[in-house]
């Protein structure tokens, strides 16, 4: 039960809302008093909340990944009682559900007006404030006399950004815009997504992270370092927004293919959350970027006078995991059961450990392991229409056996097992991995890290990728090594000699770390390759024909995936949800796309794509009994679209 009582000068309003949710019976009662003052009126808002529900038991045979073994057999469907803090997040004032014609109030801690309104990026409209708004909010004289439209502002800014020749300058211009006018920033990004996506995210964000100390102006998220150990809950409460739905967190140890960038990895959570809003429609105010700073082993950064992080070697072992556990506990205590925590760019040894540890107690998602896997599986499934056959009829060879490589391999094996009804152990035999020491085979099993062991098959040792291509004869070659130019001419030619239409996916980011370029793939395969990459490449002309390559970008998946979790009120992430996301993305590839050799749809329709992915993920959450938003909406696609944030300016009272 939630009751809202508003009393003011000569009036009183009472509003009551009731509901129940939760995986176990629990009650929460809290009282919050917010005072809004002005010269003439004094308002008190009293909010009390109470939630209760009954435990549900889910029975059924569901597929699980190898993470289950790391959890001692515990499943995400078990809804572990080890962490039972409850809570929820709602758009209390209904501003994001209002139509464009409805009036909204620019709430901060007080009603924003005058100079403070112009400095508040959430409500600032610049020259777009109307004459009436300028009078009502004391803006007269603080703005030039002209009144502009949002469309004209967008045109002016895009013209300005296009004049920059250096990508980092474009990135800084976009970040400056985000800091002063949030809605205009997202309007630009949504309307020009194909042009600006490489600016606010990969590949430009990689350079931004490398130079983050030099270009740092204003903090864009929370920095939690070893100095805050024992006080993380207090730090979370310092963040001005209370209703957080999505957190993207990194420790900066493995930023893209660039290595340990320490505290300067903050550019990744900031960029990811910008895409959560622009592509997935999650409210900006519900997003929180976090960097966990435990030091860095990057000597260049430690000796850089402009470095903004802790100047010490990276903490490991118990000290590291205690800090992360305090963070995860504080997040749930402060924001509730349904806040999504996305792990981003953690090193392999920590990434799997964290995902396995918190997968049964928190709503967690690792984009490097699970997001990459989902987007690649979608591309492979879509490519079957071009290369023929079923998933189980193809042989896969990976270069790279880290988070991304093993994550992709596992999801492909899960889908293969689902289609053929054979044990996943059998499906894994169609998938081979090459790491820095050669082909992963059973004779190496004792020296392998735990996440590589399921891929150690019976075979003679093979030392190089080229030799592996020749003896394994894969139909699909996938690169996730983080090392550029490893798909050499000989490797691509060997793939082309074994296959009429070899499927080659060079996934490593940024562009400089891609295993091969689009031009190399098409030229060396004589125009027969089906090619996609992690970072974008320009169209290639070969023998009079123009080839447009696809981009296997995680941005296809994680915004819609996150939206699906939010709208369903999901409390755990299950592998079947990842398969549902892949299935939804593959279905968005049109016949026209296939004719052009594309295995991914254009980013220009990404909001529609995200809505369909969100609906599929939400449907799976309801099917698994992991959704708490009840009753289930009848049309999940329309419901997802109705929940998406739109950056059009609102009119103020």
Q: Is 272 a catalytic residue?
A: yes
In the sheet that holds 550-551, the strands lie side by side as: 438-439, 431-435, 396-399, 476-479, 503-506, 530-533, 550-551
Token pair 């050799």: residue: 597
3-state helix/strand/coil string of 371-405: HHHHHHHHHHHHHHHHHCCCHHHCCEEEECCCHHH
Euclidean distance between CA atoms 601 and 593, whole angstroms: 7
Question: How is 458-482 classified by DSSP, letter by letter?
Answer: S-----SHHHHHHHH--SEEEE-SS
Euclidean distance between CA atoms 120 and 261, whole angstroms: 31
Q: Is 31 a catalytic residue?
A: no
Nearest alpha carbon to residue 396 among 293, 496, 504: 504
- Other CB atoms within 10 A of residue 283 CB: 21
Euclidean distance between CA atoms 575 and 552, whole angstroms: 20
Nearest alpha carbon to residue 430 among 462, 460, 398, 407: 398
- Other CB atoms within 10 A of residue 109 CB: 9
Token pair 């409209």: residue: 125
Euclidean distance between CA atoms 369 and 365, whole angstroms: 9
Identified catalytic residue from 123, 201, 522, 556: 201
Euclidean distance between CA atoms 84 and 66, whole angstroms: 25
Q: Which tokens belong to 534?
A: 């992690």
Burial class of residue 211 in the structure, from the number of CB atoms within 10 Å of its CB (0-12 exposed, 13-18 middle, 19+ buried): middle
Peptide bond into 385 cis (omega under 30): no
The answer to whether 153 and 146 are in contact (CB under 8 A) is: no
Identified catalytic residue from 272, 332, 357, 452: 272
Token pair 């000597």: residue: 299
Q: Write the DSSP symbol of residue 329.
A: H
Host H or E run for residue 652? none
Distance of CA 538 to CAs 250, 280, 510, Å? 30, 25, 14
Pairing of strands 42-49, 2-8: antiparallel
Distance of CA 447 to CAs 48, 433, 440, 441, 554, Å? 57, 15, 11, 11, 31
- Other CB atoms within 10 A of residue 402 CB: 24
Euclidean distance between CA atoms 172 and 267, whole angstroms: 11
Q: Write the DSSP symbol of residue 67.
A: H
Catalytic residues: 201, 272
């Amino acid at each position: 039960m939630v009751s809202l009582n508003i009393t003011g000068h000569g009036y009183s309003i009472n509003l009551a809302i009731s509901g129940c949710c939760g995986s176990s019976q629990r009650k929460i009662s809290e009282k919050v008093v917010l005072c809004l003052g002005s010269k003439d009126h004094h308002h008190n808002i009293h909010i009390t909340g109470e939630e209760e529900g009954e435990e549900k038991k889910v029975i059924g045979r569901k597929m699980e990944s190898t993470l289950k073994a790391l959890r001692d057999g515990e499943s995400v469907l078990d809804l572990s009682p080890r962490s039972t803090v409850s809570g929820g997040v709602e758009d209390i004032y209904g501003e994001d559900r209002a139509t464009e014609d409805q009036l909204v109030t620019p709430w901060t801690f007080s009603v924003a007006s005058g100079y403070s309104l112009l400095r508040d990026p959430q409500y600032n409209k610049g020259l777009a404030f109307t004459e009436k708004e300028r009078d009502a909010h004391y803006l007269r004289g603080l703005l030039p006399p002209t009144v502009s439209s949002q469309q004209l502002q967008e045109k002016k800014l895009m013209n300005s950004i296009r004049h920059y020749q250096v990508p980092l300058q474009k990135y800084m211009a976009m970040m400056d815009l985000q800091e002063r006018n949030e809605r205009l920033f997202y309007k630009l990004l949504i309307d020009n997504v194909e042009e600006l996506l490489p600016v606010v995210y990969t590949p430009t964000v990689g350079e931004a992270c490398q130079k983050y100390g030099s270009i740092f102006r204003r903090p864009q998220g929370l920095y939690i370092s070893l100095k805050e150990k024992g006080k993380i809950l207090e730090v979370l409460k310092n963040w001005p927004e209370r209703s957080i739905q999505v957190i993207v967190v990194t420790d900066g140890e493995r930023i893209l293919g660039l290595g340990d960038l320490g505290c300067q990895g903050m550019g990744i959570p900031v960029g990811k959350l910008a895409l959560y809003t622009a592509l997935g429609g999650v409210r900006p105010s519900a997003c929180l970027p976090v960097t966990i700073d435990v030091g860095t082993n990057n000597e260049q950064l430690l000796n850089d006078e402009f470095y903004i992080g802790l100047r010490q070697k990276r903490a490991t072992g118990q000290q590291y995991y205690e800090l992360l556990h305090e963070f995860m506990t504080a997040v749930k205590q402060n924001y509730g059961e349904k806040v999504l925590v996305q792990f981003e760019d953690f090193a392999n040894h920590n990434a799997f450990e964290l995902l396995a540890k918190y997968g049964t107690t928190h709503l967690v998602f690792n984009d490097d392991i699970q997001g990459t896997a989902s987007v690649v599986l979608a591309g492979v499934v879509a490519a079957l229409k071009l290369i023929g056959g079923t998933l189980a009829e193809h042989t896969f060879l990976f270069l790279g056996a880290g988070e991304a490589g093993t994550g992709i391999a596992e999801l492909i094996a899960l889908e293969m097992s689902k289609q053929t009804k054979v044990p996943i152990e059998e499906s894994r035999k169609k998938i081979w991995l090459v790491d820095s020491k050669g082909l992963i085979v059973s004779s190496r099993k004792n020296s392998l890290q735990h996440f590589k062991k399921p891929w150690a098959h019976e075979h003679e040792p093979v030392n190089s990728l080229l030799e592996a291509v020749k003896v394994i004869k894969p139909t699909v070659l996938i690169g996730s090594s983080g090392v550029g130019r490893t798909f050499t001419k000989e490797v691509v030619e060997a793939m082309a000699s074994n296959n009429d239409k070899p499927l080659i996916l060079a996934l490593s980011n940024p562009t400089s770390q891609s295993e091969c370029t689009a031009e190399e793939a098409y030229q060396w395969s004589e125009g027969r390759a089906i090619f996609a990459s992690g970072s974008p490449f320009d169209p290639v002309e070969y023998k009079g024909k123009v080839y447009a390559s696809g981009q296997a970008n995680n941005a296809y998946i994680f915004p819609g995936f996150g939206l699906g979790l939010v709208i369903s009120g999901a409390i755990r992430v299950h592998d079947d949800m990842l398969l549902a996301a892949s299935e939804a993305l593959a279905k968005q590839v049109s016949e026209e796309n296939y004719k052009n050799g594309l295995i991914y749809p254009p980013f220009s329709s990404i909001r529609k794509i995200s809505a369909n992915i969100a609906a599929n993920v939400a449907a799976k959450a309801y099917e698994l009994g992991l959704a708490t938003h009840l009753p289930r909406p009848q049309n999940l696609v329309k419901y997802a679209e109705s929940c998406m944030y739109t950056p059009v300016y609102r009119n103020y009272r």
